[in-house]
A and B are shown apart, each in its own frame.
Chain A
Amino acid sequence: MFKFIAKRLTATVIVITLVSISVFLIFAILPMDPARLTCGKGCSVPVIEANRHRLGLDVPVQVQYGRFVKGLFVGRTYGQGQAKIECGAPAFGYSFNKHECVTTLIAEAFPVTFSLAVGAFILWLLLGVSLGVLAARRQGKWPDRASTVFVLVGISLPTFISGLLIYLLALRLNLINPIESGRWVSPFTNPIGWVKNFYLPWITLALAFAATYTRFTRSNVIETSSEDYIRTARAKGLSEKVILRKHTLRAALAPIVTIAGLDFAGLLGGAIITEQIFNLPGLGRLSLRAVLIDYDLPVIVSTTILAATFVVVMNLIVDILYAYIDPRVRVG
């Protein structure tokens, strides 16, 4: 197991390095000029060049990348005199648009995205798996048909529609105060406020994901139920509950764990649309603005690396869990 994890961690570092290099290269070859974009109305060439220097874009891309990597280990200093700014290691850079070290921006945004992802994840797993199992057990009967309708609605409604509908409905019913909602509240200091802040986005995301999980669980459970070892268990006189819990679900859920891990990792990178609709200051919104409006390279690189890290690490966790859930699978 140790060897397996060590190998996967090495691969993780390589993947993340490649991702960061790619982002730097993509940014370098794009035709836009961040120095010009943040120069203001009618600015002159010297001002553009001063701005380019300020952004650290006046050196070749390999030097920029070298500074970035070095900053991760020893931190970075920007400017001089009274205008000096220091970002401690691990320094992902400084956002001149948000006037903050990127590490701080990520540290502030991550709890929001994590809260959103965890709540939605629990909700959609509970809803999706329960409905899927119910539909499989009552195949062809009304619970099955009702779940089909739910799946159709859930899959057909994109989150930018369902989220907006939920938000506007909540607004109309005075369930939400748009001035207050979306503001980060820690679950440790104000658990009720935290839930109030997140329950609508949780429902929005859960609706979209649960639909897929319902369908997936249903078909897996039906398929597993027809396996020989299930028939054998039934012939041995085991109760249906025991068969479902100990045999059917264990096999049926293994592939669901795989996609759940990847979905969760994807969400940790930022649920862009949901964060945008509910005005949640998470990683999704941070990266969206950096890409579309600010062309904020340090933020783009950092959030991309973070998202890639989540996916790779979750893959690793899923592999380990997979081995635990399905005894037929052994790592190494």
Chain B
Amino acid sequence: MSGSKMVKRHLNRRLIATTAATALIAAVALVGTTTSASAASSKNGGTLYFITNQQQFDHVDPARVYTGRDIAFFNSYLYRNLVSYKPTAGSAGSSLVADLATNTGVPSNNAKTWKFTLRAGSTWEDGSAVTCADVQYGVSRAFATDVITDGPQYLVGALKIPKASDGSSVYKGPYKKTGQALFNKAVTCKGTTVTFNLNRSFADFNYALTYPAGAPVKKSKDTGDKYDLRPYSNGPYKIARYKIGDEMSLVRNTKWKQSSDKVRTPYPDNIVVRFGLSQDVADQIMLDDSIPNTVDLDTLQPANLRAFFADPSKAKQRFNVYDPYVRYAAMNVSPGKMDCLDVRKAVFFAVNMQALIDLSGGLVFYGDPGDSPIKPVLGLDYAKTTGNIHDPAWSVNGNPDKAKALLASAKTSCPAAYDRATNPNKGITWDLAKTATNQKASVLIQTAMDAAGIVMKFNFIPSGQYYSTVQDTTKQNDISTAGWGADWANASTVIPPLFTKEGGFDLSQNWNDPAYPAFKAKSDRALAETNRAKQAAMWKELAQYAMDQYWIIRPVFNKGQDVWGSKVGGVYYWEPQGTFGFGGLYVKG
């Protein structure tokens, strides 16, 4: 989703005509408007450049875009959703605003039905109106999993359409049309109102619609897989050229009307994304400020990052903030693995977290030791947990004595697990992606484990295959390093994915834990809870339980750094997307 700060204010001209007092107020308002308009016009124009080492955007097709940066980029410039995040800095940016719709959605039937009414005046780049049928068609594309890949599956999972025996939807998308009638019942159109019928209570369904997978697509312009190269625009810009490995060039969409869009204020005349620059070259451009109207879409390399952040003249060309991600080590608690709480705790207390953080950039650039799978940037859902890093015995440098004491306890509480953890012929195996940093990290972990008397082995998996390996329950070892970012500002996109079997990323394999059924039931209740405060309280309790069980250890609340040139204005960090608020960017005159 996206947008930019609204600059123009609307005057109520009827008031001006009625009383002198209001005329005075209106006059003041008029001055304000003129000032704002003049400020806006000074921001308008020019070409804004983005540079990246990547060869292409992961995806451009709204049904396939999934990373925060790409969503923020395209929602700001190319396509509009029914609802969007407020385009502003700070936690206010995580609140929803109506975009194509007239409001942020009307739930009924205990949040199993959601209605949105389309705003008048929204058009495609050929001037034709955005219709309810376009929304219906756009949503339907996510079901064509043999064409539309990589995208979020929230809508596929939530819409009231039966599932086949293999768990897939019986509706196969608009290309095959199998089960089309079922889809047409799940998503209905009446005039300009689109209704979503869901198979469960989904209190934050409107947040799921901040993903462009819920955005409209004009059927006649759909080109299947190739739509990823040239989606049809209903935003303030349209694609003039997109060549993978070369550039994406955006020009103004002359059919887009500011009056129909309460979210976006497009400033530059042209936007160019240059792909494939060598990282050294890209870093040099930023360090020299040789193309001052440029935004770097990548993070600088470590040495250049330090140099950039040490330069006081660049203080207004950078930010260093919490990104959306939490990095952690997942404990596979299935029988025969890390099924002993004392052993899990022993590993946790033994780890030298300071050394690991220092290895990756230190507290300044990498992140802080965390105490929950939910990051503080999620606001309402985060609460400081007890135990883990708040345990008096915990030390950021590791506490081998405490670890030894826990192992001694495990000797009686779970002798088999104790034997595995301490027997040189057995040992615990830690999955790591095979990278230079992880290889160094393994040495640090090994040293800490040796000090605690834990036998640790490492399984290095080629980076490209890492997640496909550890997500295979038969291939995952005892501990797996992983990372996760919330999909929207609600822990409904953290707790269920990470700690329930159906969530898709449950690396703790906790479903054999005797407490799991109760945990799962509570998670389901939280998902359906429409009272946001009550829901937040439930997420906090579940996070505390996951931490108490040491299903994950040593979470790190990651930080991210971004830099831009001296002639780029309007930069702010858009918290829910974990990236720039692209809509606010302009080229300084």
Residue from A81, A98, A164, A178 having most chain B Cβ neighbours under 10 A: A178
| Interface stretch of the complex, out of A11-19, A32-40, A241-249, A311-319 | A32-40
Residues 48 to 84 of chain A near chain B (Cβ within 8 Å): 49-51, 53-54, 78-84
Contact B149 A168 (CB under 8 A): no
CA distance A276 to B244 in the complex (A): 14
Residues 128 to 172 of chain B near chain A (Cβ within 8 Å): 144-147, 149-153, 164, 166-168
Residues of A within 8 A of B51 (CB): 178-179
Q: Is B29 an interface position by the 8 A CB rule?
A: no
Contact of B225 among A39, A44, A83 (CB under 8 A): A83
Contact B504 A43 (CB under 8 A): yes
Residues of B within 8 A of A36 (CB): 467-468, 471
CA distance A171 to B284 in the complex (A): 9
Residues of A within 8 A of B151 (CB): 40
Residues 154 to 201 of chain B near chain A (Cβ within 8 Å): 164, 166-168, 174-177
Contact B505 A41 (CB under 8 A): yes
User: B42-65 CB contact bits vs A (8 Å, 1 = yes)?
Assistant: 000000010100011000000000
CA distance A49 to B464 in the complex (A): 19
Contact A167 B168 (CB under 8 A): no
Q: Is A140 an interface position by the 8 A CB rule?
A: no
Contact A50 B465 (CB under 8 A): no
Contact of B145 among A41, A50, A80 (CB under 8 A): A50
| Interface stretch of the complex, out of B272-280, B383-391, B400-408 | B272-280
Contact B274 A178 (CB under 8 A): yes
Contact B222 A82 (CB under 8 A): yes
Contact of A83 among B224, B245, B285, B290 (CB under 8 A): B224
Q: Is B281 an interface position by the 8 A CB rule?
A: yes
Q: Is B204 an interface position by the 8 A CB rule?
A: no
Q: Is B289 an interface position by the 8 A CB rule?
A: no
Contact of A164 among B152, B228, B280, B503 (CB under 8 A): B280
Residues 7 to 32 of chain A near chain B (Cβ within 8 Å): 31-32
Residues 222 to 245 of chain B near chain A (Cβ within 8 Å): 222-226, 228-229, 243-245
CA distance A121 to B490 in the complex (A): 59
CA distance A178 to B282 in the complex (A): 8
Residue from A31, A40, A96, A285 having most chain B Cβ neighbours under 10 A: A40
Contact of B291 among A32, A54, A179 (CB under 8 A): A179
Residue from A80, A81, A286 having most chain B Cβ neighbours under 10 A: A81
User: B14-57 CB contact bits vs A (8 Å, 1 = yes)?
Assistant: 00000000000000000000000000000000000101000110
Residues of A within 8 A of B177 (CB): 81
CA distance A49 to B145 in the complex (A): 9
Contact A47 B153 (CB under 8 A): yes
Give the shortest distance, in Å, between A159 (CB) and chain B (any CB). 13
Contact B66 A40 (CB under 8 A): yes
Residues of A within 8 A of B285 (CB): 171, 178
Contact A40 B175 (CB under 8 A): no
Residues of B within 8 A of A39 (CB): 149-150
Contact B176 A80 (CB under 8 A): yes
Contact B175 A45 (CB under 8 A): no
Residue of A with least CB distance to B467: A36
Residues 151 to 199 of chain A near chain B (Cβ within 8 Å): 164, 167-168, 171-172, 178-179, 182-184
Give the shortest distance, in Å, between A77 (CB) and chain B (any CB). 12
Contact B66 A32 (CB under 8 A): no
Contact of B276 among A45, A53, A281 (CB under 8 A): A281
Give the shortest distance, in Å, between A300 (CB) and chain B (any CB). 14
Given contacts A42-B505, A277-B278, contact A79 B225 (CB under 8 A): yes
Contact A42 B503 (CB under 8 A): yes
Contact B146 A46 (CB under 8 A): no
Residue of A with least CB distance to B219: A82
Q: Is B462 an interface position by the 8 A CB rule?
A: yes
Give the shortest distance, in Å, between B208 (CB) and chain A (any CB). 14
Contact of A45 among B166, B245, B290 (CB under 8 A): B166
Q: Is A130 an interface position by the 8 A CB rule?
A: no
CA distance A178 to B288 in the complex (A): 13
Q: Is B246 an interface position by the 8 A CB rule?
A: yes
Residues of A within 8 A of B291 (CB): 178-179
Residues of A within 8 A of B276 (CB): 182, 279, 281, 285
Q: Is B497 an interface position by the 8 A CB rule?
A: yes
Contact A51 B146 (CB under 8 A): yes
Contact B468 A281 (CB under 8 A): no
Give the shortest distance, in Å, between A14 (CB) and chain B (any CB). 33
Contact B246 A167 (CB under 8 A): no
Contact of B504 among A42, A100, A277, A293 (CB under 8 A): A42
Contact A178 B281 (CB under 8 A): yes
Residues of B within 8 A of A164 (CB): 278, 280
Give the shortest distance, in Å, between A194 (CB) and chain B (any CB). 16
Residues of A within 8 A of B467 (CB): 36
Contact B246 A281 (CB under 8 A): yes
Residues 85 to 116 of chain A near chain B (Cβ within 8 Å): 85, 96, 98-100
Q: Is A330 an interface position by the 8 A CB rule?
A: no
Residue of B with least CB distance to A164: B280
Give the shortest distance, in Å, between B167 (CB) and chain A (any CB). 5
Contact A47 B168 (CB under 8 A): yes
Residue from A31, A33, A44, A285 having most chain B Cβ neighbours under 10 A: A44
Contact B224 A40 (CB under 8 A): no
CA distance A96 to B150 in the complex (A): 12
Q: Is A289 an interface position by the 8 A CB rule?
A: yes
Contact of B174 among A37, A54, A82, A295 (CB under 8 A): A82
Residues of A within 8 A of B49 (CB): 179
Contact B167 A45 (CB under 8 A): yes
Contact A51 B174 (CB under 8 A): no
Contact A46 B167 (CB under 8 A): yes
Residues of B within 8 A of A182 (CB): 246, 276
Residue from A43, A85, A99 having most chain B Cβ neighbours under 10 A: A99
CA distance A47 to B167 in the complex (A): 9
Give the shortest distance, in Å, between B291 (CB) and chain A (any CB). 6
User: A237-271 CB contact bits vs B (8 Å, 1 = yes)?
Assistant: 00000000000000000000000000000000000
Task: Pull 21 A–B residue pairs with CB atoms less than 8 Å apart, ordered by A.
Answer: A31-B462, A32-B464, A32-B465, A36-B471, A37-B468, A40-B151, A42-B153, A44-B153, A50-B146, A51-B146, A81-B177, A99-B225, A164-B278, A167-B278, A171-B281, A171-B284, A179-B272, A184-B246, A281-B246, A285-B55, A285-B276
Beyond the given pairs A36-B468, A47-B149, 20 more chain A to chain B contacts, judged by CB atoms under 8 angstroms and listed by A's residue number, are A36-B471, A38-B149, A40-B153, A47-B153, A50-B168, A54-B146, A79-B175, A82-B175, A82-B219, A84-B224, A85-B225, A98-B56, A99-B228, A99-B244, A167-B278, A167-B280, A178-B274, A179-B274, A285-B276, A293-B464
